[in-house]
Amino acid sequence: MPDHPWPTRQTEPADQRRTAARCGLYICHVCGRLSAPADALRRRHGLACPRCRAALHPRKPESLHRTLALLVTAAVLYLPANLLPVMTISRFGQDEPTTILQGVQALIAAQLWLLAVVVFAASIVVPMLKISTLGYLIWSVRTGEKNRRRDRTRLYHIAESVGQWSMVDVFLVAVLVSLVDLDFLAVITPGHGATFFAAVVVLTMLATHAFDPRLIWDAAESSYHEQ
């Protein structure tokens, strides 16, 4: 994997940046080709990339609204995802429902520190950070924040790359449910918390996809044009 040395060079003042949009060019999100509207394919619903035929937009359409809608849904579902049990362990006729947080507690109690940290990071820290990061990014674009554009882009990049790792808990439940089905010893059944949790992960991933980080940069530049 190519590494990411983030160079520390200061960015140029907003008004001097040469961007694709200012030169009337669209970037294709699938294949990365640049197109001028004149050589793009014309479709009933707009332009398409001449190389890979994916839809072309100057910016992701309705990016802020779609991100916000997905994010709010994810935040609402985050409650049942954490309050409802993700699985129930039945041992010796006793049912023991477990939520995500109780799962981490059990790992701590068993002194499996590394696993406890992994599960805590993947299931609790990552979703919360993702929801708050995207929320902050939307807010910063809406208020036309001009500072720290580079840091905010980096923040987005992080949210984008940690996306799928929260699924660990969902897959853990899936494996345990299929494996632990020993009538005389223990039976593990899934709980609705797991379904909600999977929905939260998918929704936050969709929200990250819907957000267009170029809006962070536009905020500084379009105001320059308005002056």
Partner 1 sequence: MAWFPLATPTTLETQLNINDYIACTHCDALYRRSPLEPGQSAICRDCGAEVTWEGEGRHEVVLAMAISGLILFAVACSFPVLSIQVGSQIESSSLISTTLKLVQSGFWGLAASMVLFVILYPALTFIGATIVIAGLELLPPKRRPILAVTLRWVTTLMPWSMTGVYVIGIFVSLVKLAKMAEVIPGAALFALIALIPISLMLRTQLSRETLWRRLEDA
Contact map string, positions 116 to 155, toward partner 1, x by CB under 8 A: --xx--x--------------------------xx--xx-
Q: Is 101 in the site for partner 1 (CB under 8 A)?
A: no
Residue 172 C-beta: closest distance to partner 1, Å: 4
Q: Which span sits near partner 1 by CB under 8 A: 10-18, 70-78, 124-132? A: 10-18
Positions 166 through 185 that interact with partner 1 (CB under 8 A) = 167-182, 184-185
Q: Which of 41, 48, 59, 66 binds partner 1 (CB under 8 A)?
A: 59
Q: Which of 31, 83, 125, 158 binds partner 1 (CB under 8 A)?
A: 31
Query: CA-to-CA distance for 124 and 108, rounded, in angstroms?
Result: 15
Counting every residue written for the chain, the total comes to 227
Q: Which of 43, 52, 65, 136 binds partner 1 (CB under 8 A)?
A: 52
Q: Is 30 in the site for partner 1 (CB under 8 A)?
A: yes
Give the three-state DSSP class for 184. Answer: coil
**Nearest to 26, CA basis, from 53, 54, 59:** 59
Q: Which of 107, 134, 137, 210 binds partner 1 (CB under 8 A)?
A: 107
Give the three-state DSSP class for 36. Answer: coil
Query: CA-to-CA distance for 110 and 102, rounded, in angstroms?
Result: 12
37 and 29 in contact (C-beta within 8 Å)?
A: no
Indicate the residue among 73 and 153 with the shorter CB distance to partner 1: 153
Residue 192 C-beta: closest distance to partner 1, Å: 8
216 and 138 in contact (C-beta within 8 Å)?
A: no
In one-letter notation, the amino acid at residue 166 is S
In one-letter notation, the amino acid at residue 155 is L
Q: Is 110 in the site for partner 1 (CB under 8 A)?
A: yes
Q: What is the DSSP letter of 97?
A: E
